């Protein structure tokens, strides 16, 4: 079964600086999708960025970018020019499949990001 590990329960960053959140995963599949979701205090899950495993180029979305290392099964999220609104729980997720053949997301335990003014 696929597993997703986020080894940093909490991280903090100064406003305007850069922070990197770590994520590793375990899979035997060769083609898959990885995601970073943000959950602010409102509890609404928001997709930050996604990466297709077959793409070698790292995904970027404005201030958010990933460092996808397929061989190492690593998928870290870099947030540049951190803003107060970036404070949230960040979950790394792997798109997998259940026994019935339906897709499912497997989430890591999350990293709580604090942005200091």
Partner 1 sequence: GAVVSQHPSRVICKSGTSVKIECRSLDFQATTMFWYRQFPKQSLMLMATSNEGSKATYEQGVEKDKFLINHASLTLSTLTVTSAHPEDSSFYICSAGRGGTYEQYFGPGTRLTVT
Binding site for partner 1 (CB under 8 A): 33, 35, 37, 42-47, 50, 52, 91, 95, 98-100, 102-110
CB of 41 to partner 1, least distance (A): 12
Nearer to partner 1 by Cβ, of 52 and 74: the residue is: 52
Nearer to partner 1 by Cβ, of 28 and 42: the residue is 42
77: nearest Cα among 58, 96, 95: 58
CB of 89 to partner 1, least distance (A): 9
Q: Give the shortest CB-16-to-partner 1 separation in angstroms.
A: 28
Among residues 43 and 62, whose Cβ is nearest to partner 1?
43
Q: Which residues are CB-neighbours of 111 under 8 A, at least 6 positions away?
A: 6, 8, 9, 10, 11, 21, 22, 89, 90
What residues are paired with 13 via a beta bridge? 115
Q: Please, which residue, 44 or 117, has the CB nearer to partner 1?
A: 44
Coil, strand or helix: which one is 16? Answer: coil
Rounded Cα distance between 38 and 61, Å, is 14
């Amino acid at each position: 079964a696929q597993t997703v590990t986020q080894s940093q329960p909490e991280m903090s960053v100064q406003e305007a600086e850069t922070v990197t959140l770590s994520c590793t995963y375990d899979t035997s599949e060769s083609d898959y999708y990885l995601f970073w979701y943000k959950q602010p205090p409102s509890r609404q899950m928001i997709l930050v960025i996604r990466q297709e495993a077959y793409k070698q180029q790292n995904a970027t979305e404005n201030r958010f970018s990933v460092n996808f290392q397929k061989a190492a099964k690593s998928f870290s999220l870099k947030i540049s020019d951190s803003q107060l609104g970036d404070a949230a729980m960040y979950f790394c997720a792997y798109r997998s499949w259940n026994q019935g053949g339906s897709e499912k997301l497997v989430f890591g335990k999350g990293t709580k990001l604090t942005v200091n003014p």
